Amino acid sequence: MSASSSKLSFIVCGGGMIGLSMALGLRQQGHQVQLVERGQQPQLSAEFSLRVSAIAHSSRALLQQLGVWQQLPSDRLGPYSGMSVWEHDSFARIDFNAAEVSRSDLGAIVENQLLEHYLWQAAQAAGVMIHSGVTSVAEQLSDDQVSITLSNQQQLSADFLIAADGANSHVRQRAQLPLTFWHYQQHAIVATVQTELAHHGIARQAFTPNGPIAWLPLADPQHISLVWSIDDPHSEELLALSEQQFVQRLQSFSNNSLGQLTLRSERQAFALKMHYCQRWLQQRLLAIGDAAHSIHPLAGQGANLGFADVSQLLAVFAQPQQQLQRRLREWERERKTAAMTMIAAMEGFKRGFAGANPVLKLLRGSGLQFASSCAPLKQQLMKIALGD
């Protein structure tokens, strides 16, 4: 790729949190941006929506830089200042507090739909041309241009195509970017739950022999978002339980830290799969977000990895275009390393806490006690959670 005029044109395929952030950031740099999204602008609802993300400080910094974080209604943000992690039926436990790293919080729980709504609004206001209700059905890539055909037969061309169309990315599949993947053999069951006791802004996670359960504090002091990851044979059984039975089962893992629980939504299940793309850059195609990688939600880092893809790619396109190809390759290398490190860490946690073997339980308990009492190690774990 050669140095050319300072402004470029982009097509971003996929208007989730990651694609919208990318499109908005590029537009704010003065580039021409078109975004293709098969759905419509997500609407705000009075109820908490089921899909939420723990947004780390690094992602918040990007959203602030884009001018979107400031617009999010504070009565829908769930900042958390502490994290409690324990193993069910064991003495293994560790607590983190924002004060230990001189912060007022460790992150915030935000509904995906809310974030997408405001990102979409900001992208439109900034001049991103949004093609909604259509999909890309074919892409032609060359060394200096891309063109795509939409499902309404419209043709679009640009200097770059960015695939941000999620874990089942059709753009990635048609470009035959090689993929490494495995199924976690688990589903995550999500729901909104009302608690008798206030959650006090603590994100709680219990490791059980069949998978981790997270109670994520929402803006309302007595509402949490549940992410219950559970091995496949048990996930069907859990979904088949009546509301009352489900809540009783959940309660048995909660250490009674939140008092009586009441289900306030339907339950939705998501199959959990790990994948990462072995190539994120092919000619003028770039893959970001879940289109490039997807990981187990147990540490709430999937979207945060995607936001970091966006931040670092924006830094590349903010510079003059000399040696663009080399800098894009560096971006690809750095982001792949970050994604693979996170994938390995999630695998370690998942395998490390699986099963009820008493010897392993003892080791886990001792390990967590050591981490809890060893300030440098604990700070290192907190840094990971903060996205530093």
Q: Which residues bind ligand FAD (CB under 6 A)?
A: 13-19, 36-39, 53-54, 112, 135-136, 164-166, 170, 188, 190, 227, 270, 289-290, 297, 300-304, 306
Locus of tokens 């990895």: 305
Nearer to ligand FAD, 274 or 354 (CB): 274
**Least distance to ligand FAD from the beta carbon of 135, Å?**
4
Nearer to ligand FAD, 170 or 223 (CB): 170
Nearer to ligand FAD, 38 or 264 (CB): 38
**Least distance to ligand FAD from the beta carbon of 338, Å?**
13
- The dihedrals phi and psi of 216, each to the nearest 5 degrees, come to -105, 125
Nearer to ligand FAD, 87 or 165 (CB): 165
**Least distance to ligand FAD from the beta carbon of 261, Å?**
18
**Least distance to ligand FAD from the beta carbon of 3, Å?**
30
Answer for the pair 229, 188: CB distance below 8 angstroms, yes or no: yes
User: Residue type at 329?
Assistant: R
Task: From 347, 375, 348, 376, select the one nearest 364 (Cα to Cα).
Answer: 348
Rg (CA), the chain: 21
Beta bridge partners of 162: 12, 286
Nearer to ligand FAD, 76 or 361 (CB): 76
As a dihedral over the C-alpha atoms of residue 6, residue 309, residue 1, residue 172, rounded to 10 degrees, the angle is: -130
Nearer to ligand FAD, 105 or 323 (CB): 105
Residue number, nearest CB to ligand FAD = 16
**Least distance to ligand FAD from the beta carbon of 375, Å?**
26
Burial pattern 218-254, b for ≥16 Cβ within 10 A else e, equals bbbebbbbbbbbbebebbeebeeeeeeebbeebeebb
**Least distance to ligand FAD from the beta carbon of 194, Å?**
19
